[in-house]
Amino acid sequence: MSIRLGDNAPDFTADSTAGEIHFHDYINGSWAVLFSHPKDYTPVCTTELGRVAALKSEWDKRGVKVLGLSVDPIEDHRGWAGDIEETQGTALNFPLLADPTREVAQLYDMIHPNELETLTVRSVFVIGPDKKVKLTITYPASVGRNFDELLRVIDSLQLSAKHQVATPVDWKPGGDVIISPAVSDEDAKKRFPGYKTVKPYLRVTKQPS
């Protein structure tokens, strides 16, 4: 099954290090990040899960619930958690889903046979409070993800959802943003006083608070 932007995120029930997860119930009006890793007890994955755990305050600040997943059983997850804490300096503080039957992996098209025949690649899905898919990214197994970039993207998604703006190339929180073409000039004057018209289709304003 191919997941596209704007699709409803498929629901599922799975065991995890935090108990059974009913995905749609778990989201419950929050933003969510679902990300897969190829296998437990592997080096790149160990660094990734430690980094996600270390960013807990950043996820919380944005109202984001994070879930990891691999096709390994829950017993392996629990054993591996000790290694993650020991080597990365942060204990797991988010659910790690077990998917030994590959049910969730198939729902979210996380297995790419040309890359890894039976294991999940490094898939990332950002899901909004409306349970729709807002972002998908797929990395090969050899490339560790940049979770600072993922936080930046979530900041942009949340800002756009509230204010009818888009973010330009290399945008960072606090930088200027672009007014959506759907907003008329008349409306823009009321909503974004002092905005700058670079071209009729390119109107720049300070980031709304």
Per DSSP, the chain holds a count of helices (H) and strands (E) of 7, 11
What amino acid positions are annotated as catalytic residues? 45
Show the beta-strand stretches assigned E in 37-102.
64-70, 96-98
- 131 CB neighbour count, 10 Å cutoff: 17
If phi > 0 it is left, if psi is from -120 to 50 it is alpha, else beta; for residue 63 that is: left
Q: Which amino acid is at 152?
A: R
Name the DSSP class of 16: B
Strand, coil or helix: 176 = coil
